[in-house]
Structure 1
Amino acid sequence: MNRRIRRIGFVLCLGCIVFSCRTKKTVIAKKPKTNTENIENNNKETKTTSESSTKVYANATEKYIDVYNEIAQQEMSLYGIPASITLAQGILESGSGKGRLSVKANNHFGIKCHGWTGGKIYHDDDKAQECFRKYKDAKYSFRDHSLFLKDRKRYAKLFKLKKGDYKGWARELRAAGYATDKKYPQKLISIIEQYKLYNLDKKVLGDSNIEFEIPTTIGGGNTYTVLKGDTLYAISRKYNITVKELQKLNKLKGTDLSVGQVLIVKP
């Protein structure tokens, strides 16, 4: 009897030892990653995501469109100003975001102070050192542009045009006194049609068949967007070609340039 009890006890002890070893082995097999390993993996994922999202643009205008097209569409939804017009005006008046007012003051539309109580910047325009509005973020410049047009009676006719009529908007903006440049409407229309910005208007107006593609170019560098103060001679020197070659590439008869104009600088 005693011998039988001892055997049972021995078997039970042996079973406990085996179970304990298996439990330890399982715990070791599921050893969690160290903090260092987790950090390294996160860094690899971040690097991969960053690399895949990197975009290379052929010129500053393409980048400008990519950055601000959604804001322009939102403004159209809220205030009825064609997104194409807002973007084209921003491109033209800010030099595709490279002008001094846009860089130093986030002012993309050259809106002057006129009783403004916020930040200010002084810049030579029609007169020396005129007062312009300064914004904390460019999106506030876009909103101020919408309100500037919406709240002034002289622009009321614009909002009676057919929605998405960017050509009508371009012409009436100058007629209402927004710009003194006789070629202002043609410049806006040229930018809109070159980059197919009218598709942004169609998207806002509910055309589900429209797909607006942000223009991006791998490698880039074959075109140049004209900034305020640029001359054909200066651009030719920059890209090491002659003025005649520039004129031939862009089918130019003279040397006149427009801010926001896109030039081919390499064959």
Structure 2
Amino acid sequence: MNKVVLILVACMVFSCGSKKEAARKKDPRKTNTERVVIQEKSEDKPVIREPQEHTTTTETNMPISSTEDYIATFSAIAQEEMRLYGIPASITLAQGILESNSGKGRLSVEANNHFGIKCHDWTGDRIHHDDDASQECFRKYIDAKYSYRDHSLFLTTRSRYSKLFDLKKNDYKGWAKELKAAGYATDRKYPDKLISLIERYDLDKFDEAVVGYKYEETVASNRTGNTTYTVVKGDTLYSISKKYNMTVKELQDMNGLRDNALSIGQELLIKPL
């Protein structure tokens, strides 16, 4: 009987020792688990993501409600293009305003194409739009600023526009006329429209800011040796005739004019001073 009691006591002691030993073995694992949790918290830092290469949410893609908004949005881009490629910012802006309807035309809204540049050898996205013919192919840009860059490349890489770059950078009247002469547009009033926009919205101030001085128009002699004058905003036959000591009739006769109508950018033969 005593032996049985001793065996039972021994078993109980061994069992308790085993539980204590098991508890001691579990403690390191508990400590390790807590350490892992702390480590995870210490690494919980904000992740810095690289910006995507292309994005369609930019200031140049925001809705434009007026021509003034258009100018405010794109004037800095036009000036940068002028610095890089020598194209007057005033001309670029006036063309953008005219051809995109101040950013509200379909091509500008749906394709960010502000200059009506067609596909030609374009390999990027496209949009089809009625123009000279039905459903012609036009270039589509992810951002309007790329339309401005393509406009610069379009003029600088085609030989027919080379004469433009013989003109002063801020001679917007000369640029408007030469664009038409080079075949940029078929509308015979295209130069007048550009000049009118430039003078209405004082777009030449952006040219002046880039080159550092205001362009001063001078009376010049044409190829035949005759002296010519380019009509500017506010001119009348009477004011021009007085300026050059002529009568209105003399001015009309010299230029074959039947009435007093003048257009901005029109060249008139005058008597030399």
TM-score with structure 1 length normalisation? 0.55
Residue equivalent to 1:154: 160
Residue equivalent to 1:201: 207
> Paired residue for 1:64, among 70, 74, 93?
70
Q: Distance in 2 between matches of 1:207 and 1:187?
A: 24
Q: Distance in 2 between matches of 1:70 and 1:162?
A: 20
Q: Distance in 2 between matches of 1:111 and 1:60?
A: 23
Q: Indicate whether 1:123 and 2:118 are aligned.
A: no
**Aligned-partner residue type, residue 190 of structure 2:** Y
Q: Distance in 2 between matches of 1:135 and 1:204?
A: 27
Q: Distance in 2 between matches of 1:158 and 1:194?
A: 23
Residue equivalent to 2:108: 102
Q: Indicate whether 1:189 and 2:195 are aligned.
A: yes
Q: C-alpha deviations, 1:166-188, integer Å up to 9, x for none?
A: 00000000000000001000000
1:66-85 map, 5 Å:
66-85=72-91
Q: Distance in 2 between matches of 1:159 and 1:138?
A: 24
Task: Tell me the secondary structure at the aligned position of residue 126 of structure 2.
Answer: strand
> Paired residue for 1:141, among 128, 147, 152?
147
Residue equivalent to 2:177: 171
Q: C-alpha deviations, 1:83-137, integer Å up to 9, x for none?
A: 0000000000000000000000000000000010000000000000000000000
TM superposition outliers: structure 1 runs of 4+ over 4 Å? none
Residue equivalent to 2:244: none
Q: How much does 1:60 deviate?
A: 1.1
Q: How much does 1:207 deviate?
A: 4.2
Q: Distance in 2 between matches of 1:163 and 1:142?
A: 17
Identity over aligned residues, as a percent?
Answer: 72
Any stretches of 5+ residues in structure 2 without a counterpart?
1-63, 215-273
Residue equivalent to 1:111: 117
Task: Tell me the secondary structure at the aligned position of residue 128 of structure 2.
Answer: strand
Task: Tell me the secondary structure at the aligned position of residue 121 of structure 1.
Answer: strand
Q: How much does 1:197 deviate?
A: 0.5
Task: Tell me the secondary structure at the aligned position of residue 93 of structure 1.
Answer: helix
Q: Distance in 2 between matches of 1:205 and 1:135?
A: 29
Q: Distance in 2 between matches of 1:167 and 1:103?
A: 29
**Aligned-partner residue type, residue 92 of structure 2:** T
Q: Distance in 1 between matches of 2:126 and 2:169?
A: 34
**Aligned-partner residue type, residue 167 of structure 2:** L
Q: C-alpha deviations, 1:200-230, integer Å up to 9, x for none?
A: 000001249xxxxxxxxxxxxxxxxxxxxxx
**Aligned-partner residue type, residue 112 of structure 2:** N
Q: Distance in 1 between matches of 2:98 and 2:75?
A: 15
Q: How much does 1:66 deviate?
A: 0.4
Q: Distance in 2 between matches of 1:152 and 1:60?
A: 32
**Aligned-partner residue type, residue 155 of structure 2:** L
Q: Distance in 2 between matches of 1:198 and 1:182?
A: 22
Residue equivalent to 1:5: none
Q: How many residues align?
A: 151
> Paired residue for 1:91, among 86, 97, 102?
97
Q: Distance in 2 between matches of 1:65 and 1:182?
A: 25
